[in-house]
């Protein structure tokens, strides 16, 4: 006789150690024990008697138990063992839970770290942990669709960081392709988003290129009372022609203060070429004053929170903002344009030497790229002339503004 909800609710255990089985039909029965009431299905597969667990009453009702029984019978009709299918499904869910986007992305970060410069690795890691993981990090990577990734990108675009948003979309695609290669995803869903990302208008970094205004900026830097690391980074920025990321990730191991040289490995440079910065006397003095404080660690400008990481990429720009220089007036990256413009148009320095020192691609008459030591003595003299010129501007001297022949 088929069971009823009333029977399932009211039936009591008899005290038997093995419990009592109450049949519903087509293999389904309610196994009543002292510990509870369990839905079970008895079936045969390849001549062997087996039992399939279908849930516990009352969490699983009689109707739900019958649905599960019917599904199991459909599998049997297709030649599939429902017990094996249930186990495989459970394992797949467990695997999916372990293969969240965050877990796979962290694996990808480690597996591909050697292909990126340290500064890029830090930036990509920060992007993922700040902008991506909070949104889709806990989702199984196999359950993520194009719209999920697009939602992450759109949220960043709403903040106006269009280039970073587009880069995040590309990074997510790389994570998906890594997952496909590792067998934890079927496809890269970001391929459906091609052309969907917005583009920011290309803007040049704001820079002061008037000598009088530059002198005022230098005096403001001297008067700045921020953190010691920030002050040192500000003072060094106009002297070395480096990009902010190259400056803030500088390591003491790269410095030879006796030779007055900063040797930066290509892995840190935008053009991927080793680079030498001849240090002026003024630059050496700044570094010498900082060495007793940070010289015991790896980074010249360590993070204000932990010495194990370099200074934040926003530190110098934040200091400039605090001094009253907006993004539209001058930026940390703008020190390069400042040097490039004034050294050429005012001081008349050789353009090829300036380009070398900016770590731009410079080629000889035969189209060959110069190596890092090209014209090093001349570049050293040029860097010292520039530092001396900045001292005069800082002092408010009446520097003649003309381009020498």
Which residues are designated catalytic? 243, 270, 333, 336, 360, 370
CB contact set of 113 (below 8 Å; sequence gap of 6+): 121
At 2, phi and psi to the nearest 5? -65, 150
Cα distance between residue 241 and residue 256, in whole Å: 18
What are the C-alpha distances in Å from 314 to residues 12, 245, 318, 319, 326? 70, 10, 6, 9, 13
Gap between the Cα atoms of 334 and 346, Å rounded = 17
Query: Which residue is associated with the tokens 């599998």?
Result: 75
Residue labelled with tokens 């080629």: 363
CA distance 152 to 32: 50
**Adjacency order of strands within the sheet including 36-45:** 20-25, 28-33, 36-45, 48-57
């Amino acid at each position: 006789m088929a069971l009823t909800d009333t029977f399932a609710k009211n039936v009591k255990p008899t005290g038997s150690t093995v419990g009592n089985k109450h049949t519903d039909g087509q293999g389904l029965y309610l196994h009543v024990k002292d510990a509870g009431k369990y839905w079970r299905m008895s079936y045969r597969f390849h001549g062997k008697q087996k039992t399939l667990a279908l849930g516990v009453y009352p969490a699983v009702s009689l109707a739900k138990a019958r649905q599960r029984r019917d599904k199991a019978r459909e599998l049997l009709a297709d030649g599939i063992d429902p017990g094996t299918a249930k186990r495989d499904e459970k394992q797949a869910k467990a695997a999916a839970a372990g293969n969240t986007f965050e877990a796979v992305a962290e694996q990808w970060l480690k597996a591909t770290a050697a292909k990126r410069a340290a500064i890029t690795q830090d930036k990509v890691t920060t992007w993922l942990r700040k902008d991506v993981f909070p949104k889709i990090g806990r989702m199984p990577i196999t359950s993520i669709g194009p719209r999920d990734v697009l939602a992450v990108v759109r949220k960043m675009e709403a903040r106006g960081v269009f280039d970073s948003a587009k880069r995040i979309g590309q990074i997510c695609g790389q994570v998906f392709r890594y997952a496909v290669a590792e067998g934890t995803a079927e496809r890269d869903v970001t391929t459906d988003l091609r052309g969907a990302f917005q583009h920011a208008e290309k803007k040049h970094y704001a820079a002061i290129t008037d000598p009088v205004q530059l002198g005022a900026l230098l005096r403001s830097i001297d008067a700045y009372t921020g953190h010691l690391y920030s002050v040192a980074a500000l003072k060094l920025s106009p002297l070395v022609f480096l990009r902010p990321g190259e400056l803030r990730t500088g390591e003491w191991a790269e410095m030879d203060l006796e030779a007055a040289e900063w040797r930066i490995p290509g892995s840190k440079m935008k053009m991927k070429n080793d680079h030498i910065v001849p240090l002026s006397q003024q630059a050496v003095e700044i570094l010498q004053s900082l060495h007793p404080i940070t010289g015991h660690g790896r980074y010249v400008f360590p993070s204000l929170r932990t010495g194990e990481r370099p200074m934040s990429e926003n530190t110098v720009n934040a200091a400039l903002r605090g001094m009253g220089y907006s993004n539209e007036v001058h930026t940390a990256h703008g020190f390069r344009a400042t040097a490039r413009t004034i050294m050429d148009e005012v001081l008349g320095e050789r353009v090829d030497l300036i380009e070398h020192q900016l770590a731009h691609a410079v080629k000889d008459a035969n189209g060959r790229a110069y190596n890092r030591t090209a014209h090093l003595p001349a570049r050293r003299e040029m860097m010292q002339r520039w530092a001396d010129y900045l001292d005069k501007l800082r002092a408010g001297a009446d520097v003649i503004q003309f381009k020498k022949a």
